[in-house]
Amino acid sequence: MICKYKFKLCFDSENEDPGMLRACKESRHVVVKMLPIRLPSSDPKKEIRLGLHDVLAIANLDNFLDDMRTAHIHGLNIHPSISQIPALAIFSHSSFGDDLEDFMNLVENYTIFQRSLQILKSLQTLVFCCESRKRPTSVKRDCFLNYATNFDLSALNATQFRLLVAARNSQLLYTELMNDWRLKEKHDDLRIPEIKIMAKGWPAK
Q: What is the per-residue pLDDT across 7-57, written as a single tens digit (0 to 9) for each?
A: 667 777 777 777 677 778 788 888 788 889 888 888 877 888 888 888 888
CA distance 110 to 99: 18
Q: Which residues of the chain are under the pLDDT cut of 70? A: 1-8, 19, 93-96, 110, 132-145, 186-190, 201-205
| pLDDT value of residue 144 | 65
| pLDDT value of residue 189 | 66
